[in-house]
């Protein structure tokens, strides 16, 4: 008998879930202060980058993470020393959250010698091995099997490290993703695949790129565990992603996590984002995890306007300094273009 399919695409989760205001969504005052500051650091970094782009200081493609910061901040807090994070080209947030120097990140965008990868890669190719950021991949989906390879290496060596691989909803359709998932499932690799489903791949809404709305339904076919929720707070993201990482670490079970989130800016700086109407963006702004954390600080923890402003001023000063550092840094030496093409033995 032919069985019906999992459920065709009807309409998409293009409406944000209105998150509850109950305290369970939030952590302690210290947690919230830390999370807020970290999300703000990412946001202010990117706003500075966007300004620099507009002033012609940065070129190429610049994909902003604004709106999705809670994911990087939660991830940072879950990382253990031997874990690694592999992501695509919307990666500034991970670098800033993981501890890469904002100056080095900004200098990379400026194409300066002091950049994260010496000005060789730009925004789309962030790598900072020391801070557990293993890319930085700009060809959609081609990091998915590579990340499985990192997990393979950990298992091969009997190490406890877990690989976290982030990909966009748009990367779910492409072949390498499925080949990577097949091998991860088949070989029970210690990896968590996190689809950051921001509902669009460039101008394409989910309904035109994925036949079945719930991406995690694919997990069954790859023998992966699955988890799916909308990102409304660092606390919840951390708890649920943490459980996925525990499964991967302790039971060597690959897990497929779908995080429903939203980017407030265009796909890249050159995308005016005409395919989304204002109301939609506004609705999502109301569940912006950073904004909600700020509200929680006010409401639950009695943090004053002045205190919040002081945090912002510190963060802005930090990012101004990053811009200054990038501006004043030297361009790469001409001979740098010949370096690192092959390892020299």
Partner 1 sequence: MALIQIRHAIRDAIAEEMARDERVFLMGEEVGHYNGAYKCSEGLLERFGERRVLDTPIAETGFAGVGIGAAMCGLRPIVEFMTFNFSAVAFDQILNNAAKIRHMTNGQFSVPIVFRGPNAAAHMLGSTHSQAFEPFYAHVPGLIVIAVATAYDAKGLLKSAIRDENPVVFLESELMYSVKGEVPEEEYLIPIGKADIKRPGKDVTVITWGQGVPVALRSAELAAAEGIDAEVIDLRTLRPMDTEAVLTSVRKTNRAVVLFHGWPYGGVGCEVIAQIQEQAFDDLDAPVLRVCYEDVPMPYAENLENLVLPTAERGLAAIRAVTYRR
Ligand X SMILES: Cc1ncc(C[n+]2csc(CCOP(=O)(O)OP(=O)(O)O)c2C)c(N)n1
Q: How far is residue 68's CA from residue 81's CA, in Å, rounded to a whole number? A: 24
Which of the residues 180 through 219 are near ligand X (CB under 6 A)? 198, 200-202
Number of H helices, E strands in the chain: 10, 8
Residue 298, both tokens: 């006010």
Q: How far is residue 305's CA from residue 319's CA, in Å, rounded to a whole number? A: 21
Minimal distance, residue 34 CB to partner 1, in Å: 33
**Residue from 119, 145, 185, 254 binding partner 1 (CB under 8 A):** 119
Q: Which stretch binds ligand X (CB under 6 A): 70-78, 109-117, 136-144, 335-343?
A: 136-144
∠ Cα 174 179 182 (to 5°): 130
> Looking at beta carbons, which residue is closest to ligand X?
168
CB 39 within 8 A of CB 45: no
**Residue from 38, 69, 83, 169 binding Mg ion (CB under 5 A):** 169
Q: How far is residue 214's CA from residue 191's CA, in Å, rounded to a whole number? A: 20
Q: Which stretch binds ligand X (CB under 6 A): 8-16, 70-78, 138-146, 329-337?
A: 138-146
Q: How far is residue 154's CA from residue 269's CA, in Å, rounded to a whole number? A: 37
Which CB atom, from 210 or from 311, has the smaller least distance to ligand X? 210
* Contact track, partner 1, 320-339, x by CB under 8 A: -----------xx-x-xxx-
323 Cβ contact list (under 8 Å, min separation 6): 48, 52, 106
Which of the residues 76 through 105 are near ligand X (CB under 6 A)? 90
Minimal distance, residue 154 CB to partner 1, in Å: 26
Asked if 175 interacts with ligand X (CB under 6 A), we say no
CB 193 within 8 A of CB 224: yes
Asked if 84 interacts with Mg ion (CB under 5 A), we say no
Minimal distance, residue 201 CB to ligand X, in Å: 3
What stretches of 252-304 show up as alpha helix (H) in DSSP? 278-285, 289-299
**Residue from 12, 125, 188, 301 binding partner 1 (CB under 8 A):** 125
Q: Residue 103 binds which entry of partner 1, ligand X, Mg ion, none, with Cβ cut-offs from 5 to 8 Å by kind?
A: none
Q: How far is residue 135's CA from residue 307's CA, in Å, rounded to a whole number? A: 35
Asked if 123 interacts with ligand X (CB under 6 A), we say no
Phi/psi region, residue 9 (left: phi>0; alpha: psi -120 to 50; beta: rest), is beta
- Helix or strand or coil: residue 22? coil
Minimal distance, residue 245 CB to partner 1, in Å: 27
φ and ψ of 304, to 5 deg: -85, 160
Which positions touch Mg ion (CB under 5 A)? 168-169, 198, 201
Query: Interface residues with ligand X (CB under 6 A)?
Result: 90, 138-140, 168-171, 198, 200-202, 267
Give the residues lining the site for partner 1 (CB under 8 A).
59-61, 111-113, 119-122, 124-125, 138-142, 170-171, 173-176, 201-204, 208-210, 275, 331-332, 334, 336-338, 341
């Amino acid at each position: 008998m032919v069985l019906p399919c999992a459920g065709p695409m009807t309409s998409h989760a293009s409406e944000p879930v209105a998150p509850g205001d109950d305290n369970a969504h939030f952590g302690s005052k210290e947690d919230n202060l830390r999370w807020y500051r970290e999300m703000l650091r990412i946001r202010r970094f990117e706003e500075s980058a966007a300004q620099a782009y507009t002033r012609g200081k940065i070129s190429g493609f610049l994909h902003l993470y604004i709106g999705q910061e809670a994911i990087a901040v939660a991830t940072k807090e879950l990382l253990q020393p031997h874990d690694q994070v592999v992501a695509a080209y919307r990666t500034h947030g991970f670098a800033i959250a993981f501890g890469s120097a904002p100056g080095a990140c900004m200098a990379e965008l400026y194409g300066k010698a002091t950049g994260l990868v010496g000005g060789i890669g730009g925004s789309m190719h962030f790598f900072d091995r020391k801070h557990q950021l293993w890319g930085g991949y700009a060809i959609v989906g081609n990091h998915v099997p590579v990340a499985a390879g990192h997990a393979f290496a950990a298992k091969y060596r009997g190490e406890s490290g877990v690989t976290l691989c982030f990909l966009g909803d748009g990367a779910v359709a492409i072949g390498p993703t499925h080949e990577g998932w097949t091998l991860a499932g088949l070989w029970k690799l210690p990896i968590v695949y996190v689809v950051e489903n921001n509902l669009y791949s460039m101008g394409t809404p989910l309904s035109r790129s994925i036949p079945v709305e719930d991406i995690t339904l694919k997990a069954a076919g790859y023998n992966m565990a699955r988890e799916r929720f909308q990102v409304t707070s660092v606390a919840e993201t951390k708890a649920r992603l943490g459980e996925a990482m525990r499964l991967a670490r302790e039971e060597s079970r690959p897990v497929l996590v779908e995080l429903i989130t939203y980017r407030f800016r265009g796909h890249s700086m050159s995308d005016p984002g005409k395919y989304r109407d204002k109301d939609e963006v506004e609705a999502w702004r109301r569940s912006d995890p950073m904004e909600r954390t700020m509200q929680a600080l006010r409401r639950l923890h009695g943090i004053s306007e002045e205190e919040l402003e002081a945090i912002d001023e510190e963060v802005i000063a930090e990012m101004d300094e990053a811009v200054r550092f990038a501006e004043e840094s030297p361009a790469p030496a001409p001979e740098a273009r010949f370096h690192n093409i092959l390892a020299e033995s």
